[in-house]
Structure 1
Amino acid sequence: MSAVWKYFKVSDKDPKFAICSLCSAEISRGGTVPRHFSTTGLIHHLKTRHPVQHSDYKKTVPLPKSDSGSTPSVATVFEKVKKKFASDSPKARAITDKIMEFIALDDQPFSVVEDIGFRRLMQHIEPRYSLPSRRYFADTCLPELFCSVRKHVQELMTTDIIAISFTTDIWSSDVSPTSMLSLTAQWIDDKFQLQNILLNAREFVGSHTAAAIADTLKSILDTWHIEKSKVHLIVRDNARNMAKAMEDSELKSIPCMAHTLQLAVNEGLLSQRTISDIVSKGRKIVGHFKHSPLAYSRLQALQIQFGMPPKRLQQDVATRWNSTYYMLQSLFEQKRVLAAYIADYELPATLSAHQWMLVENSFSSISI
């Protein structure tokens, strides 16, 4: 109840009025129904007729809130919205970190931050955010993210792990002469969950000797403070230099089953001249349609004509024997279409009836 009622009481005759206890004046309460009643009239009466009592009453009223706690004006709000975040503000920093995570997790190029569509999206989501340059993401944000992830991985690796298994390989891209050596760790944590972390993928320069491989693996293990006693096993390929590197490093290792199978298939099946000729011709046929949009459109039209769904021929990878199987299988599925294509257009290579029979006998009956 308002402190002003110290000087008033509700009229017994009509509750719409209040009686001043100082001068017995009858003051309207400002409405005809209780929900409309207010003390404005009572305070005004006290101020004009009884200033001393009004001064005492004001002492009991809380002071108004400061400007910092009051509702901001519309102009203030708009001015705040237009003002850009400082580059080191928590909000701007959080957005920048999330963009860096997006680039890293989705394998995006740093140039994505300069693409007009991405910049428009960020402008729409948060107009107050100023998008840094691609160089800032590459030179500052990426090293910071790497350090953060490395610290987290280091914490995982320093837990009570009894044994860790590894996989390693030396590989290179078909379009780049650069060789890379990678090492991946796997272990079971205390919650019996499998952990799988790529510890390192570094450029491997120089000759791929057993000594060079052993030195690189030792460097990686030392970087992560992994003792040899914790190395349960390392899965590697069948190359002699890799096997000797493990032996020289006194690390237990076994050859990769997939690589062993690749060697077995190459030795037992693909080393046969008749089969290798078929594979060679198959690669030329697939390559013809892969590199010629016109040829592929003609093939697609024939597929539709034969009531078949449009489908590209499968390209194989020489080091993946199952991809060679899929290539020959896709060619065999399109045998009728290819025969119709040859009737009107040229191909760099064709399979004879005997070779088609070998494809059917050698590959179509294999179940992978």
Structure 2
Amino acid sequence: MQHLSGVSRGGTEPGRFNTSNLIAHLKKHHKKKHEDFRESSKAKQQASCSLQQPTLAESFARRDKLPRDSKKAMAITEKIAQFIVLDDQPLSVVSNVGFKRLMEHLEPRYIIPSRHYIVDKTIPRMHEEVKKCIAAHVEKANAISFTTDIWSSDHRPLSLLSLTAHWVDTDFTLQRAVLHAREFRGSHTADAITHAMEEMLHDWKIEKNKVHVVLRDNAADMKKAMNQLGVSSLGCFAHTLQLVVHEGVLSRRAVSDALANGRKIVGHFKHSPKAYSSLEDLQIELNVTPKRLQQDVQTRWSSTKYMIDSLIHQKRPLHAYSSEENHTLPAILTANQWGLLEKTSKVLTPFEELTTLVSAASATTADVIPSVHALVRFLSKESEDDHGILTMKATLLDAVHRRFRHVESEPLYTVATLLDPRYKDKYFTNPENLGHAKAALKAAVCKVEEELKTTPPPDVTEPVDKTPRMAGASSSLGSIFDEILEESSTAAGPSDQITTGAICEMESYFCEAPIERKSRKEKEEEE
């Protein structure tokens, strides 16, 4: 590199320096280094071209908006519609400034459609696609159970008739889908309900022979409608529990008077921010966890229990509030009424647990007979803590016996209980009913066995650990379930009679102990 000392840099001023003379020197005296330099420069130039500004045509192409019917624009519009539907977003979200800015940042070429376009075009198209998918699954199902109800909208003065399908697919996975939530106009007569149900089943091309059972409320017209429709039906267990609670507890004069005063107290704080602020200050001062008082809905007994519990939790702050001169309450609870509410809450706890259980997505008809048995045993037991609520428990027990007297003679309940590996035949209280239940199960097993002789069973695999679970043993009823199971007689051995292979399997099934009601995960969570 000794030759570089004499290479001119283009002048003596730094602003006039260049590399031309140096490149010429490399080319003349150092050819190998010059070739390396050229290759390096060429690579840098190519990389620079890829980062340079777009051409005029490219700039116009990027500036142009996506046509609404383009593949990308339609995909984005569908995702927006899914966002609205799945997350319960208002249709006006497409007009919100923040949402518009987000979409402009993500894809400047996309034109956000109006809410009317979403309603008139996109959502109906999505509805048809989802409906076709559900219809295909429903068509494959061998039997389908339904839940139906008539309920009123909180936003408009109208009634809606809903129909939800439940079925088990070929992988033994429980599936469900809301098929209808249609407006139900006119009187809710049995004939009108029957006609509406027939239309809904016809729309989905579901034959009545595929309807296993329809779960309904206990209204006489609804029950009559199912009979006229020619399908099996069962009353809602949670609704029946509500009737039991109203008859056994909430209808008692002393309890209803205490609840009326409690509602007035809750309403006072609900409608007065100033009063609630004062109560909250007292909660903090008395080291009571600040919580709002809960207003109940008289048609939902569980909300009444939650109101009672919230009042009991705030008992000390409420006493302190009412003792101050400048604070007045529209009603007061006497010492006897406070005691009555505490006892009412205690006796309603197992009813709340059962309501939560049967309202879960995994609940089945197999839960009914064991739940009734456990509830009867709970109400029949007497303890030192029952002082003052013996009459209440006796009234509830009588209502339970009266409302649920037929559950052990209903095949839909009994067969489901026998087939549930958590219960099997351990929770029946009447041996005669158990005998009838096993006979019904044997008849069903023999029928299936005969059908399988001509039609091979589908190639399916039962999933692992998909058994629905009961409430944990830490609940007030959990220990009673275990107690009933321990006291149940040992299952009889296999019959000496000549039986088919399927019947042998069934008898072997009953000889095995029921599986645990709680999964390993639930046990670990309790610990």
Could you say which TM-score interval applies, normalised by the shorter chain? Answer: 0.7 to 0.9
Q: What letter corresponds to residue 31 of structure 1 in structure 2?
A: K
Distance in 1 of aligned mates of 2:282 and 2:298: 29
Which of 95, 104, 110 does residue 114 from structure 1 map onto? 95
Aligned-residue offset at 1:177: 2.4
Q: Does 1:151 align with 2:132?
A: yes
Q: Deviations over 1:101-128 (max 9, x none)?
A: 0111111111111111111111121111
1:120-269 equivalences in 2 (<5 Å)? 120-159=101-140, 161-174=141-154, 176-269=156-249
Deviations 1:251-302 (A, max 9, x none): 1001000000001111111111111112222222222222322222222111
| Aligned-partner Cα distance in 1 for 2:35–2:111 | 55
Question: Which of 279, 300, 318 pairs up with 2:259?
Answer: 279
Q: Distance in 1 between matches of 2:104 and 2:335?
A: 63
Is the 8 Å Cα contact of residues 31 and 37 (structure 1) preserved in structure 2?
no
Q: Which residue is 1:31 aligned to?
A: 32
Secondary structure class of the residue paired with 2:135: helix
- 2:457 aligns with none
1:313 equivalenced with 2:293 (yes/no): yes
User: What residue is the counterpart of 2:410 in the other structure?
Assistant: none
In structure 1, the partner of 2:329 is 347
Distance in 1 separating the partners of 2:147 and 2:115? 34
Distance 1:123-1:32 versus aligned 2 partners, 3 A rule: closer
Which range moved further: 350-359 or 230-239? 350-359
Cα distance 1:78–1:286, how it changes in 2: closer, same or farther (>3 A)? farther
Q: Alpha-carbon deviations, 1:75-111, whole Å to 9, x = none?
A: 4444333221111111111110000001111111111
Provide the rounded CA distance (Å) in 2 between the counterparts of 1:71 and 1:175: 57
Q: Distance in 2 between matches of 1:122 and 1:130?
A: 9
Gaps of 5+ in 1: 1-26, 39-69
Cα distance change of structure 1 residues 163 and 75 upon mapping to structure 2, 3 Å threshold? same
Aligned to 1:89: 70
Partner of 1:333: 313
Structure 2 length-normalised TM: 0.56
CA deviation string 1:132-159 (max 9, x = no partner): 1111111111211111111111111122
Contact preservation (8 Å) 1:228, 1:251:
yes
Which position in structure 2 is the counterpart of 1:361? Answer: 343
Where 2:33 maps in the other structure, the secondary structure is coil
SS in 2 for 1:31: helix
One-letter amino acid of the counterpart of residue 238, structure 1: N
- Going from structure 1 to structure 2, the CA distance change for 1:177 and 1:254 (only over 3 Å counts) comes to same
Question: Residues 73 and 313 of structure 1: is their aligned pair in 2 closer, same or farther, counting only changes over 3 Å?
Answer: same
1:332 to 1:364, Cα distance in 2 relative to 1, 3 A: farther
Q: Residues 303-342 of structure 1: CA distance to partner in whole angstroms, max 9, x if unpaired?
A: 1111122211122222221221111011011011111111
> C-alpha deviations, 1:163-220, integer Å up to 9, x for none?
1000000111355421111010000000111101000001111000000000001100
Tell me whether 1:80 sits opposite 2:81 in the alignment: no
| Structure with greater strand share of residues | 1
AA partner of residue 247 (structure 2): E
Does the Cα contact within 8 Å between 2:147 and 2:216 map onto a contact in 1? yes
> In the alignment, residue 356 of structure 1 is paired with which amino acid?
W
| Superimposed CA distance per residue, residues 240-261 of structure 1 (whole angstroms, 9 cap, x where no aligned partner) | 0000000111110010000000
Q: Distance in 2 between matches of 1:353 and 1:306?
A: 20
Larger helix proportion of the pair: 2
Which residue does 1:49 correspond to in 2?
none
Cα distance per residue 1:219-246 (max 9 Å; x no partner): 0000000000000000111100000000
Give the conservation status (yes or no) of the 8 Å contact 2:288–2:314.
Answer: no
- Identical aligned residues as a percent: 51
Q: CA contact under 8 A between 1:235 and 1:253: conserved in structure 2?
A: yes
Query: Which amino acid in the other structure matches residue 186 of structure 1?
Result: H
| Preserved CA contact (<8 Å) 2:249 2:344 | no
Secondary structure, counterpart of 2:182 in structure 1: strand
Q: Is the CA contact 1:29–1:37 (under 8 Å) kept in the aligned structure 2? A: no
Q: CA RMSD in A?
A: 2.2
Moved more, 80-89 or 264-273: 80-89
- Aligned length in residues: 311
CA distance in 2: counterparts of 1:242 and 1:350, whole angstroms: 42
Consecutive unaligned residues of structure 2, counting only runs of 5 or more, are 1-27, 40-49, 354-527
Aligned equivalents of 1:154, 1:175: Cα separation in 2:
30
**Closer/same/farther in 2, CA of residues 364 and 356 from structure 1, 3 Å limit:** same
Helix, strand or coil at the partner of 1:298:
helix
What does residue 42 of structure 1 align with? none
